[in-house]
């Protein structure tokens, strides 16, 4: 049996620098990477497009706003579950992923 479950990672601040390098490296290694950054439709549109071309999922994320963080995390979890399996959320602060065959 092969383990087809790579790691799922959500990283904030991916428009440039260390965050972007980390996202590209992890995606290149086969992990599912969600890149959170501000202004993906305007100021960071080019960076978002370049990351998408490298297999990184891009999501609008402003870490200074709780609503933005909650929306980005919820979206990333739901997207990851589509291809990975099921979630059991007995408590909103506890997400558990289960391997599927």
77-98: per-residue pLDDT in tens? 888 776 555 444 444 444 444 4
Residue 2 lies in a domain: no
Residue 84: predicted pLDDT: 55
Residue 80: predicted pLDDT: 77
Instruction: Confirm whether pTM is higher than 0.95.
Output: no
CATH number at residue 21: 3.40.50.720
d(CA 27, CA 9): 9
Residue 12 lies in a domain: yes
Contact between residue 13 and residue 23 where contact means Cβ atoms under 8 Å apart: no
Q: How many domains does the structure of the chain reveal?
A: 1
Signed CA dihedral, 90, 59, 9, 64: sign only: negative
Residue 19 lies in a domain: yes
């Amino acid at each position: 049996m092969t383990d087809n479950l790579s790691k799922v990672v959500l990283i904030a601040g991916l428009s440039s620098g260390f965050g972007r390098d980390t996202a590209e490296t992890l995606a290149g290694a086969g992990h599912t990477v969600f890149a959170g950054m501000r202004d993906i439709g305007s100021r960071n549109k080019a960076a978002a497009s370049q990351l998408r071309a490298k297999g990184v999922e891009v999501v609008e994320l402003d870490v200074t706003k709780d609503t933005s963080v909650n929306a980005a995390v919820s979206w990333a979890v739901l997207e990851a579950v589509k291809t990975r399996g099921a979630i059991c959320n007995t408590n909103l602060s506890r997400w558990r992923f289960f391997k599927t065959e």
